[in-house]
Amino acid sequence: METMNDHFKTASGDNGLSEGEIRETLLAAVAGRNVRNVLIVPPDFTRFHSNAGLITRIYYEHFTSLGANVDILPALGTHFAVSETQWNAMFTGIPYSKMIVHHWRTDVVKLGEVPSEAVSEITEGLWKDPVPVEVNRLVMDPKYDLVISPGQVVPHEVIGMANHAKNLFVGVGGSGMINASHMIGAVCGMEKAMGRDHTPVRRLFDYGMEHFLYGRRPILFCLTVCTAPGGEIRTHGLFVGEGRSCLEAAVKLAQEKNIDYVEHGLRKCVVYLDPSEFTSTWLGNKAVYRTRMAMADGGELVVLAPGVHQFGEDPAVDALIRKYGYRGRQHTLEVFRSEGAEDLRANMGAAAHLIHGSSDGRFSITYCVKNITREEIEGVGFKSADYDEMAAKYDPSKLRYGYNTVGGEEVFYIPNPALGLWINRERF
């Protein structure tokens, strides 16, 4: 339900909201606020198509024009810091020096924990350990009169629908919550979560908001629902508010705009990963997460990944992926519980990622890269094929989104898996 403090705007047509409409909605939400220091927590470059860059720029220009100081803390999670090139593309006109890098292992303060009895109830007994609630200490710094959290609500493999509290508890959260939430999502099953609200992990974050942040810090969520046909960002809705109602409204629109149903299981699906956005399988496996509910048993997922040159987003996670591989939910859970897997238990987020990145043997996954050897790709459990050869056969510049015929074969082509979720209508 929309409240007096919410400012919602949806587009009347398929082209999305204009920059003027976005600006008007954003400024209406902060009208009359007397602030001297503002902290903006936008997503990083992996959410370039969220239009969070525009939102950040509008608020940066507005508050600095009023004499306020504005700091920007990208919600990196476990990702690499935003490069200057990425920054200039996403946050055009804002000095790179305004960026504060979040270090997920060291920069956090613990607010409390979700107790074991609540975790057990949320997961129906599948997970019983308490979960720490941590955020970057700047979020709690009283010098900031306002914390602004922009980002896109879009289907997500761990939480169901991304953003809102996830931007804080994972994006600028600590290892405890990141690891536990990802493992809980994997154990509870991503097919039960993707594209839905009120999932187990979302309920964990709701608990954290209700017990530790609502009423304690002035946090303004600016949630978008976007598509990007041909790479052009279209913002279909903007939902600004300090409670949960902005999330609920955004989820409803995202379920309409970002979930595509196919009429039957896909025997061959080709996904292209833009090299400026996807440089690791940690990120690139969105190709697996977002299509697995559409793939037919025995089908093949071909991932064209010219920019992927590593597995993990940091050396420790990269080493774990190389050691244990993407070998299915049951295998990973057995290894996770076994002697000698202390390194995997110490990084539950990586263990969950290994589960998410596998097809559980239901369909094959062929990664086509330029900068990782065939042996390395096959060593983590994927099939491998030469990128240039496969890109010539399934040419991204010629294929159109959806069904194509290539050499008499039906191929479903997806140019960017980060912007949607694909589901087989026959099995949903």
Q: How confident is the model at residue 2 (pLDDT cuts 50, 70, 90)?
A: very low
Q: What is the pLDDT of residue 66?
A: 96
Q: Can you tell me whether residue 237 is helix, strand or coil?
A: strand
| Residues present in the chain in total | 428
Question: How many CA atoms are closer than 13 Å to the CA of 129, on its beta-carbon side?
Answer: 11
C-alpha 284/C-alpha 357 separation (Å) is 9
Cα distances (Å, whole numbers) of residue 277 to 17, 161, 307, 309:
24, 20, 8, 12
- Beta-bridged to residue 70, according to DSSP, are 38
**Taking all residues of the chain, what is their mean pLDDT, rounded to a whole number?**
94
Per-residue model confidence as pLDDT tens digits over 47-105:
888 999 999 999 999 999 999 999 999 999 888 899 999 999 999 999 999 999 999 98
Does residue 274 surpass a pLDDT of 60?
yes
51 or 428, greater pLDDT: 51
- Give the closest residue to 175 by CA, choosing from 392, 399, 349: 349
Helix pair 329-336, 348-356: axis angle to 10 deg: 160
Per-residue model confidence as pLDDT tens digits over 282-295:
999 999 999 999 99
- Give the closest residue to 16 by CA, choosing from 161, 163, 162, 229: 229
Per-residue model confidence as pLDDT tens digits over 203-227:
999 999 999 999 999 999 999 999 9
- Token couple for 172: 């600028």
Containing 300, the helix (H) or strand (E) segment is strand 295-304
Cα distances (Å, whole numbers) of residue 154 to 58, 224, 257:
22, 9, 9
Q: What is the pLDDT of residue 189?
A: 85
Cα distances (Å, whole numbers) of residue 395 to 67, 231, 270, 308, 402:
51, 17, 10, 18, 14
- Give the closest residue to 366 by CA, choosing from 339, 345, 389, 335: 389
Q: How far is CA 295 from the centre of its chain?
A: 21
**DSSP letter string, 26-51:** HHHHHTT---SEEEE--B-GGGGGGS
Kindly report the CATH class assigned to 260-424.
alpha beta
Give the global pTM: 0.84
Q: What is the pLDDT of residue 4?
A: 53
Residues in Cβ contact with 331 at an 8 Å cutoff, skipping those fewer than 6 apart: none
Cα distances (Å, whole numbers) of residue 167 to 73, 187, 219:
11, 22, 11
Q: What is the pLDDT of residue 418?
A: 85
Kindly report the CATH class assigned to 7-257.
alpha beta
Q: What is the pLDDT of residue 428?
A: 63
Q: Spell out the domain ranges in the chain.
A: 7-257, 260-424
